[in-house]
Amino acid sequence: MSLPDGVVRREFDGEDRLATRGTPVYGEPTDGEWRLWDARRSKLGAMLELGMDTGLAGGDSVLYLGAASGTTVSHVADFAGPTYAVEFASRPARDLLDAAADRERLFPLVKDARKPETYAHVVESGLDAVVQDVATSGQARVSTLNRRFLAEDGRLVAAYKARSEDVTADPDDVFDDVLAELEAEFEILETERLDPFHDDHLGVVATPK
């Protein structure tokens, strides 16, 4: 599996790790212009570390759902094209704004990913990718609602958290339900559990039907 252009492997403390070129955001180690992309703090980073074929490429136009304080979306903006970062909570959104200050391709949107109509006037259609990491119930519903922004050959690259759906249910059952809902709108290309980086998370790569 090849990494997106602009994502490389470099040695940090004797380990071969993912890195992107950009300004540090969350206290991550650096090597010159390169910053460590910590897979233990990033679901997308874990997907890349595990060899999933995300289909992401340098210069892609991206809608990132669940941007939080900017940990992962800042890495995405380091290698992608225009990157729209949606985050609903005001406190992490302030940190997201700081991360965007040094990144001219990163556009923070303090919006609710469950209500794409509130940012449809800002986000272009025909995007190369929707990247999702939203810790809320109804995660598959969020994906289907935001399908509208994807190009016909675009990619959904999502991490689904079982405990956000049902803290008491078996994660395998939760993921079966998530995939069944997604399959109404998407062709599932690849799935993989994100252990050991993130417990009870499922990485999914899909494309619109």
User: Is 169 a known ligand-binding residue?
Assistant: no
Instruction: Report the percentage of the chain scoring pLDDT > 70.
Output: 100
Is residue 31 part of an annotated ligand binding site? Answer: no
The phi, psi pair for 84, rounded to 5°, reads -95, 120
133 is in an annotated binding site: yes
Domain covering 43-208 in this structure, CATH number: 3.40.50.150
pLDDT in tens, 115-159: 999 999 999 999 999 999 999 999 999 999 999 999 999 999 999
Q: What is the pLDDT of residue 1?
A: 63
Tell which phi-psi region holds residue 64, choosing left (phi > 0), alpha (psi between -120 and 50) or beta.
beta
Annotated domain spans of the chain = 43-208
> Hey, what are 53's tokens?
């074929």
54 is in an annotated binding site: no
Q: Report the alpha-carbon distance of residue 23 to residue 18 in Å, rounded.
A: 15
Buried b (16+ CB within 10 A) or exposed e, 77-87: bbbbebbbbbb
Mean pLDDT of the 157-180 span = 97
Cα 159 to Cα 35, 79, 164, 201, distances in angstroms: 23, 20, 11, 6
Reported as a single tens digit per residue, the pLDDT across 54-103 is: 999 999 999 999 999 999 999 999 999 999 999 999 889 999 999 999 99
Residue whose entry in the numeric block shows the structure tokens 């994100």 = 194
CA–CA dist 142, 66 (Å, integer):
10
Has 88 been labeled as part of a binding site?
yes
**Pair of tokens at residue 208:** 């619109």
